[in-house]
Amino acid sequence: MYKYWIKYQKGEEVRFISHLDLLRAFERTSRRAGVPIAYSQGYNPHPKLSFATPLSVGIVSYGDYLEIELTKDLETDEIINKMNANLPQGIKLLDGKKLTKKVPTLGALVEAAEYKVKVKSLELEGKIKELLNSENIYIQRTSKKGIKMVDILPLILKLEYKDDVLSMLLTTSSTANVKPKEVLSILNIDNPNIDKIETYCSKGDKLVTPLQWLN
């Protein structure tokens, strides 16, 4: 089997499709394009295709990643060209690399993500300064185990407002994460259009993209 990491874009045309619909779009397109994705064994085989992080409904992304496993050894450019010729409008593969050694899964490596939101506000700079100068920022989360309070301040790596654009760099690891909507809610920003700019892994003391991590 042959594994690849692929960078893709989920554009404005598909802002409101679900994570499951996105997965199905890739699966259907691979069949039409002649890109032979491997399937798991057992009674309910599923495609060996996984995302670095699930992308929430309503978010456009210019820097997300998926891992695919193929039954045939193809050049990365061939995969990208074949898939792009068949993918729905708004979904596009941008770059990729074949894995030449065993590495952790994308989901295990991802540490942070960058987001941008266009918003006009005369008060936002002051709110951000007050927020970042706080000792902690607790939010309430509900799960099957019940309700718990989580301090998200350590998970906000960057928060700045310039030229009517709010930029956020947020922790999105498998062990700790904060959603952009949780930060926006604290800032009293309702129903924003959120754009995800890039996804990052840690390499040494730096944040790099998954494809840079492979270098």
- How many whole angstroms separate alpha carbon 127 and alpha carbon 131? 6
CA atoms within 13 A on the CB side of 141: 16
Q: Report helix, strand and coil shares of the chain as percent, to nearest 5.
A: 25, 40, 35
Same domain, 33 and 55: yes
- How many whole angstroms separate alpha carbon 168 and alpha carbon 157? 8
- Of 72, 107, 142, which marks where a domain is finished? 107
Same domain, 67 and 49: yes
> One-letter amino acid identity for 145?
K
> What is the pLDDT at residue 145?
82
Same domain, 139 and 97: no
Same domain, 209 and 121: yes
Same domain, 84 and 164: no
Give the dihedral sign, CA 143/111/28/25: positive
CB-neighbour burial class of residue 64 (10 A; exposed 0-12, middle 13-18, buried 19+): buried
User: pLDDT band at residue 49, thresholds of 50, 70 and 90?
Assistant: very high
Strand pairing category for 59-70 and 194-203 = parallel
Give pLDDT tens digits for 74-123. 999 999 999 999 999 999 999 999 999 999 999 999 999 999 999 998 89
Tokens of 21: 């619909």
Same domain, 15 and 86: yes
What SS3 class is residue 38?
coil
Q: Which domain holds residue 208?
A: 109-214
Same domain, 118 and 89: no
CB-neighbour burial class of residue 92 (10 A; exposed 0-12, middle 13-18, buried 19+): middle
Same domain, 19 and 75: yes
Q: Are 126 and 207 in contact (CB under 8 A)?
A: no
- Of 107, 142, 177, which marks where a domain is finished? 107
Domain count, the chain: 2
> What is the pLDDT at residue 1?
86
- As a whole number, mean pLDDT of residues 176-205 equals 93
The CATH number of residue 95's host domain is: 3.30.70.580
Kindly tell me if the per-residue pLDDT of 41 is higher than 90: no
Same domain, 114 and 100: no
- As a whole number, mean pLDDT of residues 196-204 equals 96
* Cβ within 8 Å of residue 199, ≥6 positions away: 52, 53, 63, 64, 65, 110, 112, 113, 172, 209, 210
Same domain, 133 and 102: no
- Of 107, 124, 153, which marks where a domain is finished? 107
